[in-house]
Structure 1
């Protein structure tokens, strides 16, 4: 089961996204109209992917994704935006580590494909991290037994 967070200050957008994402059997979707509330939730619950609007009052999507990157670095971060300029794109990539951008209005199939790609990518990252830790632990165990290799 994947846990997906969706953040947008427009209730009708949240409802539309929730309907679209809710059709996936193995996705649990949580929606937030307030990015600060979403951040509070992210401090207690692991999310596999976060989709957020770029333009929101008080905190924009890049600021939200930056904060989420610090709290949950393995979470796939997707920016949903009606405004696409090079400065926004570069900022989202460099500062927030955005995986993809999805333009508003979005195509449901395109959005679902993007999320699925991100979840596969996340699974690989997490698996590689676990394998690297296992290899390190095995090397340390062998060294402690006198093997040097």
Structure 2
């Protein structure tokens, strides 16, 4: 299931955005969560992962650029999208750079544009997750062929790879059940 976070301090705008997006994904595979308080939204970002995060640019307390920077730190793979009615493109451009914003959506928005942007955002999220998976796999410690063989043997015959030593350091095999102990 896809998760999308919607953040706007204006409740009416937030509900309008929700009403626009909800019918775009009738299959139930996209869950939309709304917050009018950016700090509460950040707390939620610490609890669950989001594929995409939409944030208004102008909000009291913390603006959209700052909010999306925090989201980037919490969830680097989440695709960040800024919403704004602002025509100050220098200011919005700064937000895009600081929060590595994927898209800028002007208010008022078009439903078809939102659907296209979300599809692109989901594709980008999937690519980011795949890249991270590959990097994590490459960084994972390599297991030698000997270690793999020892694991295989241990799986087939539990205990076969365990070496037992006497206090003097000599190696002995544990007697099998029913066999006499010949250690001297």
TM-score between the two structures when normalised by the length of structure 1:
0.88
Structure 2 CA distance, aligned partners of 1:144 and 1:15? Answer: 60
Structure 1 CA distance, aligned partners of 2:40 and 2:51? Answer: 17
Q: Within 5 Å, give how 1:130-149 maps onto structure 2.
A: 130-137=133-140, 140-142=142-144
1:78 alignment partner, one of 76, 81, 84: 81
1:64 alignment partner, one of 48, 63, 67: 67
Q: Deviations over 1:38-86 (max 9, x none)?
A: 0111111111110011011111111100111111110000000001333
Structure 2's unaligned 5+ residue stretches are 148-184
Q: Identify which of structures 1 and 2 has the higher relative contact order when contacts are C-alpha pairs closer than 8 Å and 6+ apart.
A: 1
Structure 1's unaligned 5+ residue stretches are none
- 2:8 corresponds to which residue? 8
CA contact (8 A) 2:4 2:31 kept: yes
Q: Within 5 Å, give how 1:20-31 maps onto structure 2.
A: 20-23=20-23, 24=25, 25=27, 26-31=29-34
CA RMSD of aligned residues (A): 1.8
Q: Within 5 Å, give how 1:101-116 maps onto structure 2.
A: 101-116=104-119
State the shift of 1:121 in Å.
0.9
Higher helix share: 1
CA contact (8 A) 1:21 1:27 kept: no
